[in-house]
Structure 1
Amino acid sequence: MSGTTRDDVLEALRRLARAGQFEASSTDLIHATQGSSATVRRHLEALWASGAVVRTGRARATRYRLKDTNEATAVSATEAPAQAESRLLPVWSPAALAMSSRLAMPLAARNPVTYQRRFVDDYVPNESWLMPRELAEALHRSGRLQGQQPAGTYARKVLEQLLIDLSWSSSRLEGNRYSLLATEELFRRGTAGSDADAVMLLNHKTAIEFLVDAVPVQGLSTPLVRNLHAVLMQDLLADTDDLGAIRQKVVNISDTVYVPTQVPAMLEEMLESIVAKARLIKNPVEAAFFLWVNLAYLQPFEDGNKRTSRLAANIPLLLYNCAPLSFLDVDTQDYARAMLGVYEFRDVALAVDLFSWTYRRSINKYLVVMESLGMPDPLRLRYRESLTDAMGLIVRERKSAQAALEELKLTEDEAPGFRALLLDELKKLEVFNCARYRLTMSATQGWIDAGRPQ
């Protein structure tokens, strides 16, 4: 937008500061103002020269902030609680606000629409961008794990926290009534009974563990996405034939004029196309966004499409060792409006703002988790795979620790320190942390119920 002014840039800085982001890159401000790159950067240079903003860092690390942040962050004594709370919510771009206005119209005033395959067909990986390219690249730089490490390393390092965060956040968006503390207790207990909400949460946990194990080996594929759906919806669909299966039934979505395609052949074809194109996208953040938006828009399964899209968005992030996306603190109404913008208008403005906001929160959360872990134990790194093998023999096959050590040739002479490490890990093994050793929850629970034989 050529009409972007210095005041527009200053107002964008104020809005970001009110949302808790006190420093912003030029990319953030280009996105927030919808202005051109050259115009926004020219205004920033002038604002810095005049002393209106403070500039820190150099090159890609350059950040800008208001000279006086009190103006943006102070909450007056008369400010309503809802206004104060809004500072913790996404900062909507002008395009997103315009889309919100269109969605505020009554359903009767909006034209019914159905699936448009050109939304995918016209997309050319690495040439087309659903997110602004500079934003996707900035998020990739912020979220990636430094150094060359095997795919899935980042997710494995923060797995215990991720299991709780993503399971609870995604389930809450489906109306799940469990609190975060109740979710943690459920994962420690490991059994759901006849509670559908508990089943939903445990299915999420199992699905995340499945992705962390399978993605580094299998990569992104249609069978993997379909298996992801099957795990997420186990015991939640009346007909087990529908688990991971392309939908054969009519699906209607409430509170929208969008009617998904009801042709199974098209559903299968477009699912293949979505996965194939996502696999070619080099930027993992753009690939994650592409999967999240398009799987929800297509609605290829009888139920569970949105939760499948949320977890599937993590597949490219896993492959490229980026911080996982757990949809932290996302408001259900914001999420619904972001989806409706795609469903009814194929407009991603709301979705881009919501995605970038919550992904930044995920990046910050898991960066702190990583820092809290400190330097990895060299002994654990040395025996990483051996620990997994030994735990499998003891828990799944019920062999004694000594028998496992002898079978794997990991006696004290051959692997000094391993026995003590193994016995210590056996004491700590629970159903909520068993995935790191490729153990299922049921096998682990059975071993625990048997008195932890070793």
Structure 2
Amino acid sequence: MDDTISDRQLRILKHLSQIGTASRKELTAVIPSVSRITLIRDLNSLQARGLAIAAGKGPATVYSITPSAKRLKLYDPAAYLLEDPDSRQVQFTAFIAEHVKRLESAWDKNKIGNIKRLAADYQLKRGSDVASRELERFVIEFSWKSSKIEGNTYSLLDTEQLIKGSVEAAGHSREEAVMILNHKTAFDYIWQHNHSYRQLSRMSIEEIHQLLTQNLGISRGLRQSPVGIVGTAYVPPASQAEISSHLDQVIKLVNDCQEPAIKSLVALVGISYLQPFADGNKRTARLASNALLVAHDYPPLSYRTVDENAFKGALILFYEQGVTDYIVEVFLQQFEFSAKNYNL
């Protein structure tokens, strides 16, 4: 049997991965150019290869993907980011709170068990005489990479000289230096007040945003006008009433989670997704996410080894396709790196 998955079959699997189950009629609407016979042939092929299963009979038959199909890389996040947003098969263009809630159910027992083992190992090695130097190294690497994700052009060495020696790099704007130094200020603050962040509140999120955006000409408080996100067809909520309501939902979802790593992920994605501020949203999301980790004696994420396009692509896949797997994978990879490479 030919194991090649056609583009059409891949679209079927992607659609099923997003919505759970679908009938043949629903799948025909997603792929309008396909005939009924061809669709049935594709579905039979996917079932024969253990990638899809059917339930029910006749017109009531619905299809879903199997665990084997879920392990397939249906998307390449970095490649997805580079696609023209207008040419993508976008499923969602508006904020859907239920998608944020699904981030919690994306964790199985193996993922949670691995997180807990990594956190326990990290906690055992804390408190050594090198901890202060390790904290400084983490702050430099986090401030550099988080700023770089936002387009900052400072190198890691430039960032070290700025933070340790107050030396601004030649050929760079003052705003780039301020962005990096604001990261240091914000992380120092959450580190010193770590127990204040065991639960998230609107005040704590706005506090982090204020620290990150000071002296950058960015307005404080919830935005009062619409914003767009470069590179995606997704449009965040426009009215302040909507933003306020959805932010309360995100905060409740974070605080209802029992596992600190899941709290952190929901904050990271939920705040990035909602875009509650005029600017500085993803920076605020990364700091709030780290504040929750630090408050529970978990390793904060530096993102030092993350591929920026893969990270951005994973977020956009969540926005546009409702797919959680890729951003969860990025988070887990960065958590493991931090747990093994820092001793704060």
TM (normalized to structure 2)?
0.70
Aligned match of 1:129: 105
SS for the counterpart of 2:96 is coil
1:234 aligned partner:
214
What is the SS of the residue equivalent to 1:292?
helix
Paired with 1:104 and 1:167, the residues of 2 have a C-alpha distance of 25
Q: Hey, what's the Cα distance between the residues in 1 that align with 2:267 and 2:245?
A: 15
Match of 1:108 in 2: 86
2:108 and 2:250 map into 1 onto residues whose CA distance is 19
Of 167, 177, 202, 1:222 maps to 202
Equivalent pair of 1:190/1:202 in contact (CA under 8 Å): no
Residue aligning to 1:385: none
1:139 is displaced (CA, Å) by 1.5
- 1:311 pairs, out of 251, 275, 287, with 287
Give the TM-score taking structure 1 as reference length: 0.54
Q: 1:218 to 1:338 in 2, by over 3 A?
A: closer
Q: Deviations over 1:331-356 (max 9, x none)?
A: 12111111111111121121122111
Structure 1 189/157 Cα, relative in aligned 2: closer, same or farther at 3 Å?
closer
The offset of 1:314, in angstroms, is: 1.0
1:252 to partner: Cα distance: 0.8
Q: Report which of the two structures shows the higher radius of gyration computed on alpha carbons.
A: 1
Runs of at least 5 residues in structure 2 that lack an aligned partner in the other structure? 1-64
Cα 1:195/1:157, change in 2 over 3 Å: closer
CA contact (8 A) 2:141 2:304 kept: yes
**Root-mean-square deviation (Å):** 3.2
Sequence identity percentage: 29
Matched, 1:357 2:337: no
The amino acid of 1:246's aligned partner reads: L
Following the alignment from structure 2 to structure 1, what is the Cα–Cα distance between the partners of residues 153 and 76?
A: 32
Number of aligned residues: 270
State the 1:107 CA deviation: 2.6
| 1:211 correspondence with 2:190 | yes
Structure 2 counterpart of 1:217, one-letter code = S
Shift of 1:103: 6.2
The residue number in structure 1 matching 2:156 is: 180
User: Which whole-Å CA distance do the structure 2 matches of 1:101 and 1:232 have between them?
Assistant: 30
Is 2:255 the counterpart of 1:293?
no
Give 1:27-426 correspondences, 5 Å limit.
94-95=72-73, 97=75, 106-109=84-87, 110-111=89-90, 113-120=93-100, 128-144=104-120, 145-146=122-123, 158-190=134-166, 195-217=174-196, 219=198, 220-238=200-218, 242-243=219-220, 245-366=221-342, 369=343
Please tell me the residue identity of whatever aligns with 1:189. Answer: G
Q: Distance in 2 between matches of 1:290 and 1:228?
A: 17
Specify the SS of the correspondent of 1:253. Answer: coil
Distance in 2 between the 1:271 and 1:227 partners?
A: 15
Distance 2:289 2:94 in 1: 23
CA contact (8 A) 2:222 2:240 kept: yes
Q: CA deviation at 1:360?
A: 1.2
Q: 1:343 to 1:189 in 2, by over 3 A?
A: same
Q: 1:105 to 1:312 in 2, by over 3 A?
A: same
Amino acid at match of 2:279: D
Mark the CA change 1:159 to 1:103 in structure 2 (over 3 Å): closer, same or farther: closer
AA paired with 1:330?
V
Is the 8 Å Cα contact of residues 197 and 295 (structure 2) preserved in structure 1? no
Give the match for residue 50 of structure 1.
Answer: none
